[in-house]
Structure 1
Amino acid sequence: MIIVTGGAGFIGSNLVQGLNARGIFDILVVDDLSDGHKCLNLADADIRDYMDKDDFLARIEAGDDFGTVEAVFHEGACSATTEWDGRFVMKVNYEYTKALLAWCLARKVPLIYASSASVYGMGPNFREAREFEQPLNMYAYSKFLFDCHLRPQLDGLQSQVVGLRYFNVYGPREQHKGSMASVAWHFNNQLNDSGRVRLFEGSDGYGPGEQRRDFIHVDDIVAVNLWLLDNPQVSGIYNLGTGRAQSFNEVARAAIKWARANGSEGGGIDYIPFPEHLKGRYQSFTEADMSALRKAGYDRPFMDVETGVPRYLDWLSRNG
């Protein structure tokens, strides 16, 4: 069996699809379906069982077994960067992951978990080292603190533990995330609604729409997770982006080009004032230093936005 927490969410459901594509169906999905819309992410997937996240945690803390578990992919979290209820975020993100780590280590079950590039704050250095980490919100702090909890244990591990610091992920099955969905998702909706894309004006020395992020397609995220499943000798904390920052303008142009190729007559860009509440809290630049993961042996290329955005919009067009 493989356990996927957050398996009805964005990255988790894509990971389930990736496992299914390998012929793996003995999957336990753990999630919180208070928002029942997320079930649509699993409607075309094949899994063995589902368990609520609180019930799963109770069994983990009780030391229960689930039979033979090949690996745990821990994607479940409160991912809202705007959530400031620190007790809630630490319970769901930090304490939960600590309990899962202890359970996995006791049974020598590989654990591959989602960390976040948000641990680096404003940057500008994005390398897996303490001196470059300065989280700016509760979500980032919860991810940062668990990475700190793991680091002293890495040298003595007897089973695989990997933290993946995801950069700006976009792609299928993120529709339930609302305001937290990727800019590619929002651009597609804006083009459908008005034929125009809205971007922020300049900030932090960047021109209008020229703020730059490391945008990575979820298919590349899945590919790395599955590669780690195949390489249990690899442990550590690794960045997971493309290694190349691209501007919001480039994402917008890729979406506009796709829309025009598919019959849209619109395709302009409007620049709106930069929000006051984001000043000093906005990552105007992110770019993953990918040298550690490359050194660990991952050698496949990553999609740029010119490739990944139309691939995503093709999927949206087919699936509604």
Structure 2
Amino acid sequence: MILLTGGAGFIGSCLNTVLQQQNRAVAVVDRLGSDGKWRNLARTPPQYLLPPEELESFLRDSPRPIEAVVHLGAISETTARDGDLVWRTNVALSQSLWRWCARNGVPFLYASSAATYGAADGVEAFSDAPERLDALRPLNLYGWSKHSFDLWVRRELAERREAPPQWAGLKFFNVYGPNENHKGNMISVVKVKHDELLAGRPATLFRSDRADLADGAQARDFIWVGDVVDVLCWLLETPSASGLFNLGTGVARTYLDLAHAVCDANGLERRVAFIDMPQALRGQYQSFTQADMRRLRDAGYAGQFTSLEEGVRRYVALLRDDAPFS
């Protein structure tokens, strides 16, 4: 059985679907709440569903052997302000699960984030090499919490403390795809632009807050959620692969490219309007991200990543049919 925290969320629910298609039992740790998140599990309900406060007792008295822990649950809002809650959720819980996996000989995969890179700029700045960790300066509490756990893992390994037989931290870049309707203001730009277009408005983008960067030229490494799930499944089948790995496509695309792709996927004229960047984001906005994917490739991953245009086309088709990830 796979223990999957955050399994009713965006990436977690997509992974749950594929694991169950592989006839693997899944125990999801998450809160469904009242915002419709249950719909992410509607077609593939897990064998077990438990709230986070029952995790400790479930680990102690699990009804089935746990093959691996995939830890995706976190407070992921880049605007989060409650430092104590973020530390307990994103760092202390991760440490506890790492130690449990180490004691019980269970592989441990966890979500880090490209937010750990902070104001990094230029292709060379997005290296996932362990020796680069000390140079990173996250711009927000969420990114700092993920970075803090990455540093803790490095210390545990350096001090030769007990570790899981396999571990992998994945620095997710800008993931998009279905099953994200519950995410509120953290929903992907693809979905936001799609909704704007369906409402008869142009796709809106933030004006650049940098004099050296044109409006719409801000660029991110956008990755289709199906590609993320493929990598997670590959790791579960490849116990020799351990480490901290970037997970993007390795190609940065502009927000203007993305807006045009959403227009094209909807069969609509390319209409884009620019608006001022909110004050809360100024000074905390990454104008460029691009994953250096060499370490994951060197570990043996040979899968191909979906182009932005193809991924947006798939996502828009699912949105128009009101269909989940499958």
The reply to whether TM is greater than 0.5 is yes
Q: Over aligned residue pairs, what C-alpha RMSD do you find? A: 1.5
1:117 and 2:108 correspond: no
8 Å CA contact retained: 2:223, 2:306? yes
Give the aligned partner of residue 275 of structure 1: 278
Single out whichever of 152-161 and 234-243 deviates more from structure 2: 152-161
Cα deviation, 1:124-161, whole Å, max 9, x if unaligned, reads 21112214411111111110010011013346545111
Q: Aligned equivalents of 2:63 and 2:154: distance in 1? A: 27
Give the aligned partner of residue 30 of structure 1: 29
Which of 209, 219, 223 is 2:226 aligned to? Answer: 219
Q: How do residues 87-102 of structure 1 correspond to structure 2 at under 5 angstroms?
A: 87-102=84-99
Q: Aligned equivalents of 2:63 and 2:207: distance in 1? A: 52
Q: Aligned equivalents of 2:317 and 2:294: distance in 1? A: 31
Give the secondary structure class of the aligned counterpart of 1:194: coil
User: What letter matches 1:41 in structure 2?
Assistant: N
Which of 165, 168, 182 is 2:188 aligned to? Answer: 182
Residue 275 of structure 1 and its aligned partner are, at CA, apart by: 2.2
Give the aligned partner of residue 308 of structure 1: 311
8 Å CA contact retained: 1:154, 1:235? no
Give the secondary structure class of the aligned counterpart of 2:192: helix
Residue 64 of structure 1 and its aligned partner are, at CA, apart by: 4.6
1:242 and 2:249 correspond: yes
User: What letter matches 1:288 in structure 2?
Assistant: A
Q: Label 1:166 to 1:40 Cα distance change in 2 as closer, same or farther (>3 A).
A: same
User: What letter matches 2:16 in structure 1?
Assistant: V
The sequence identity of aligned pairs, in percent, is 40
8 Å CA contact retained: 1:255, 1:309? yes
Q: How do residues 47-66 of structure 1 correspond to structure 2 at under 5 angstroms?
A: 47-57=46-56, 59-60=58-59, 63-66=60-63
Q: Which runs of 5+ in 1 are unaligned?
A: none
Give the aligned partner of residue 166 of structure 1: 172
Give the aligned partner of residue 11 of structure 2: 11
1:106 and 2:67 correspond: no
Q: Which runs of 5+ in 2 are unaligned?
A: none
Aligned residues: 313
Q: Aligned equivalents of 2:164 and 2:179: distance in 1? A: 35
Residue 300 of structure 1 and its aligned partner are, at CA, apart by: 1.1
Q: Aligned equivalents of 1:66 and 1:233: distance in 2? A: 27
Residue 58 of structure 1 and its aligned partner are, at CA, apart by: 5.4
1:67 and 2:70 correspond: no
